[in-house]
Amino acid sequence: MEQCRYLTDRERRVFNLVCRRGWAIEDAAAELYLSRSSVNACLRSIRDKAGISRPRQKTSISHDKRCPVVR
């Protein structure tokens, strides 16, 4: 992945720190002088270029809290 010619230099640096070395997003952002949202955008772009779907987000509505049935 690191040698993919479609990645920008910034995306390569983010990939190296976050994905290969296991750094936290905040630590990688500080090291690269970027905002956290910029690092997240780079990771999203890398996933899009690689054809990897995004991680599923937790829903705020629990399926256990259904409306009671009135009989």
Show pLDDT as tens, one digit a residue, over the chain (71 residues).
666 788 999 999 999 999 999 999 999 999 999 999 999 999 999 999 988 876 666 655 555 555 555 55
Domain limits, the chain: 9-50
> With 0-12 CB in 10 A as exposed, 13-18 as middle and 19+ as buried, what is 28?
buried
Q: Is-above-0.95 flag for pTM? A: no
**For the CA atoms of 61, 62, 63, 69, what is the dihedral angle to 10 degrees?**
-80
Give the per-residue pLDDT at 61.
54
What are the tokens at 57?
A: 């987000």
